[in-house]
Amino acid sequence: MLTYVVHRLLVMIPTLIAISLIIFIIIQLPPGDYFESYIAELQSQGESVDMAKIEFLRKEYGFDQPILVQYAHWALGMLQGDFGYSFEYRLPVSEVVGDRLYLTALISIITIIFTWIVSFPIGIYSAVRQYSWGDYTLSFLGFVGLATPNFLLALVLIYIANVFFGTSIGGLMEPQYIGKPWTLEKIGSVMEHIWIPVVVIGTSGTAGMIRRLRANLLDELEKQYVVTGRAKGLPPIKLLLKYPFRIALNFFFADIGTILPSIISGAAVVEIVLSLPTTGPMLLTALRSQDMYLAGSFLMFLAFLTVVGVLVSDLALAALDPRIRLQGGATR
Amino acid sequence: MSVAQGGADAGQARHYVSQEPFDPHSVEQLAPEQERYYMASQWQLMWWKLRRHRVAVFCGILLLFMYGSVLVSEILAPYQLHSRHTNYIYSPPQSVHLFHDGEFIGPFVYGWSYRLDMETLRRNYSEDRSTVHRLRFLCLGDKYDFWGVIPGRFHLVCPPEGATLFLLGTDRLGRDMLSRIIYGARISLTIGLIGITISFSLGLVIGGMAGYYGGRIDSVVQRVIEIFRSFPELPLWMALSAILPVTWSPILIYFGITAILGLLDWTGLARAVRSKLLSLREEDYCTAAMLMGARPRRIIARHLLPGFMSHLIASATLSIPTMILGETALSFLGLGLRPPITSWGVLLNEAQNINVVALYPWLMLPVVPVIVLILAFNFFGDGLRDAADPYR
Concatenated DSSP letters of B228-284: HHTS-HHHHHHHHHHTS-TTS-HHHHHHHHHHHHHHTSTHHHHHHHHHHHHHHTTSH
pLDDT of the residue at B6: 46
What percentage of residues in chain B have a pLDDT greater than 70?
94
**Is some CB atom of chain A closer than 8 A to the CB atom of B222?**
no
What crossing angle do the helices spanning B42-52 and B309-332 adopt, rounded to 10°? 60
Q: Tell me what pLDDT residue B11 has.
A: 60
Which residues 284-303 of A are in CB contact (within 8 Å) with B? 284, 287-288, 290, 295, 298-299, 302-303
Q: Which are the contacts of B115, defined by CB distance < 8 A and separation ≥ 6? A: B123, B124, B126
DSSP 8-state code for residue A91: E
* Interacting residues of A76 by C-beta distance below 8 A, sequence separation 6+: none
Kindly report the length of chain B: 392
As a whole number of angstroms, the distance between CA A254 and CA A116 comes to 12
Q: Which helix (H) or strand (E) holds B113?
A: strand B103-117
C-alpha–C-alpha distance, residues A243 and A200, integer Å? 33
Cross-strand pairs, B145: B151
Q: Are B385 and B315 in contact (CB under 8 A)?
A: yes
Q: How many Å apart are CA A274 and CA B360, to the nearest integer?
A: 18
Tell me how far apart the alpha carbons of residues A73 and A13 are, in angstroms, rounded to a whole number. 18
Q: How many residues does chain A have?
A: 332
Contacts of B67 (CB under 8 A, 6+ apart): B189
Q: What is the pLDDT of residues B214-225, one digit of tens each?
A: 788 888 888 888
**pTM across the whole model:** 0.78
Burial class (CB in 10 A: 0-12, 13-18, 19+), A111: buried
Separation of alpha carbons B290 and A58, rounded Å: 59
**How near does any CA of chain B get to the CA of A8, in Å?**
14
Distance from CA of A19 to the nearest CA of B (A): 7
CA distances (Å), B365 to each of A88, A273, B124, B176, B362, in order? 36, 17, 20, 12, 5
- What does the pLDDT read at residue A172? 63
Give the burial class of B83: count Cβ atoms within 10 A of its Cβ; 0-12 exposed, 13-18 middle, 19 or more buried: middle
In this prediction, residue B62 carries a pLDDT of 92
- Quick one: pLDDT at residue B64? 92
Judge contact between B89 and B173, C-beta under 8 A. Answer: yes
Q: CA-CA distance, A110 to A196, in Å (whole number)?
A: 11
**Residue B321 is which amino acid?**
P
Question: What was the pLDDT predicted at B342?
Answer: 87
Rounded Cα distance, A96 and A19, in Å: 23
B68/A contact by beta carbon, under 8 A = no
Q: Which of B234, B243, B351 sits opposite A268 (nearest CB)?
A: B234
CATH class of A93-331: mainly alpha
CA of B374 vs chain A CAs: smallest distance (Å): 6
Core vs surface per residue A29-54: b (16+ CB within 10 A) or e: ebeeebbeeeeeeeeeeeeeeeeeeb
Asked if B135 and B109 touch (Cβ cutoff 8 Å), the reply is yes
A19 contacts B231? CB cut-off 8 A? yes
CA distance B332 to B184: 13
- Partners of B378 on chain A (C-beta within 8 Å) are 143, 146-147
The reported pLDDT for the residue numbered A61 is 65
Question: Can you give B152-217 as a three-state secondary structure string?
Answer: EEEEEEECCCCCCCCCCCECCCCCEHHHHHHHHHHHHHHHHHHHHHHHHHHHHHHHHHHHHHCHHH
Side chain identity, residue A26:
I
What DSSP element (H or E) covers B137? strand B136-146
B352 touches chain A (CB under 8 A): yes
- The whole-angstrom separation of Cα B155 and Cα A180 is 60
CB A263 within 8 A of CB A201: yes
B interface mutation test: which of A28, A143, A287, A314 has the most B CBs within 10 A?
Answer: A287
Taking the C-alpha atoms of residue B295 and residue B186, their distance in angstroms, rounded to an integer, is: 41
What rounded mean pLDDT belongs to chain B? 81
Tell whether A37 is within 8 A of chain B (Cβ).
Answer: no
Do the Cβ atoms of A7 and A325 come closer than 8 Å? no
What pLDDT shows up at residue B65? 92
For chain A, positions 82-141, list CB contacts with chain B under 8 A.
none
CA separation for the pair A16, A307 (Å, rounded):
8
Is B102 at the interface with chain A, CB within 8 A? Answer: no
Q: Express each pLDDT in A264-293 by its tens digit.
A: 777 878 888 777 777 777 888 777 777 777
Q: Quick check: B239 and A261 CB within 8 A?
A: no
Mapped onto helix, strand or coil, the DSSP state of residue A2 is: helix
* Among A residues 7-36, those touching chain B with beta carbons less than 8 Å apart: 14-15, 18-19, 22-23, 26, 29-31
Phi, psi for residue B90 in degrees, rounded to 5: 50, 45
Q: Looking at the partner chain, which of A146, A284, A303 has a beta carbon nearest the beta carbon of B230?
A: A303
Alpha-carbon gap: B175 to the closest alpha carbon of chain A (Å):
22
The pLDDT of residue A156 = 76
Across the interface, whether the CB atoms of A158 and B354 are under 8 A apart is answered yes
Tell whether A311 is within 8 A of chain B (Cβ).
no
Q: How far is it, in rounded angstroms, from Cα B343 to Cα B75?
A: 18
Determine whether the interchain pair B232/A265 forms a contact, defined as Cβ–Cβ distance below 8 Å.
Answer: yes
Average of per-residue pLDDT across B375-389: 82
Quick one: pLDDT at residue A330? 41
* Residue B4, pLDDT score: 47
A155 contacts chain B (CB < 8 A): yes
Picking from A255, A310, A325, A301, the residue whose alpha carbon sits closest to that of residue A78 is A301
Q: Do A29 and B226 touch (CB under 8 A)?
A: no
Sheet of strand B103-117: strand arrangement: B97-100, B103-117, B122-134
For residues B290 and B299, is the Cβ–Cβ distance under 8 A? yes
Least confident among B52-66, B178-192, B275-289: B275-289
For B273-294, write each residue's pLDDT tens digit. 888 888 788 888 888 988 998 8
Of A147, A290, A299, the CB nearest to B375: A147
Q: How many CB pairs (< 8 A) connect A and B?
A: 119
A176 or B9, greater pLDDT: A176
Q: How confident is the model at residue B357 (pLDDT cuts 50, 70, 90)?
A: confident
Q: What span, in angstroms and rounded, lies between the C-alpha atoms of B59 and B379?
A: 7
CA nearest neighbour of A23 among B344, B301, B230, B247:
B230
Cα dihedral A299, A305, A307, A308, rounded to 10, equals 150
Residue B235 contacts A, CB cutoff 8 Å? yes
Q: Give the whole-angstrom CA distance, residue B263 versus residue B198.
A: 7
Instruction: For chain A, list residues with pLDDT below 70.
Output: 31-38, 40-41, 46-49, 57, 60-64, 83-85, 87-88, 98, 162, 165-182, 323-332
Which residue is closest to B246 within chain A, CA to CA?
A30
Phi, psi of B103 (to 5 degrees): -115, 135
Give the pLDDT confidence of B305-352 residue by residue, as tens digits: 877 777 788 778 878 888 888 888 888 888 888 778 888 888 888 877
- B contact test, residue of A111, A148, A152, A196 with most B CBs within 10 A: A152
To test the contact with chain B by mutation, choose from A16, A21, A155 the residue with the greatest count of B C-beta atoms within 10 A, namely: A155
Nearest CB among A15, A298, A302 relative to B226 is that of A15
Mean per-residue pLDDT, B143-157: 82
Q: With cut-offs at 50, 70 and 90, classify the pLDDT of residue B61.
A: very high
Give the 3-state secondary structure of residue B381: helix
Within 8 A of A156 by CB-CB distance, chain B residues are 364, 367
Contact A158 B357 (CB under 8 A): yes
B188, B244, B354, B380: which to substitute to probe chain A, counting the most A Cβ within 10 Å? B354
Most A CBs within 10 A among B231, B237, B263, B328, hence the mutation to make, goes to B231
Alpha-carbon span A200 to A205, nearest angstrom: 10
Q: What pLDDT was estimated at residue A178?
A: 63
A158 and B352 in contact by Cβ < 8 A? no
Residue B1 is predicted with a pLDDT of 41
Contact call for residues B84 and B175 (beta carbons, < 8 A): yes
Question: How many helices, marked H, and strands, marked E, lie in chain B?
Answer: 16, 5
Q: What is the pLDDT, as a whole number, of residue B168?
A: 86
CB A314 within 8 A of CB A5: no
- β-pairing, A91-92 vs B150-158, is unpaired
- Say whether B333 and A269 touch across the interface (CB within 8 A): yes
Query: Roughly what angle, to the nearest 10 degrees, separates helices B233-242 and A279-288?
Result: 20
In this prediction, residue B88 carries a pLDDT of 82
ipTM greater than 0.85 = no
Residue A45, amino acid: Q
Residues 6+ apart with CB under 8 A from A159: B357, B358, B361, B364
Distance of CA A239 to the CA centre of its chain: 36
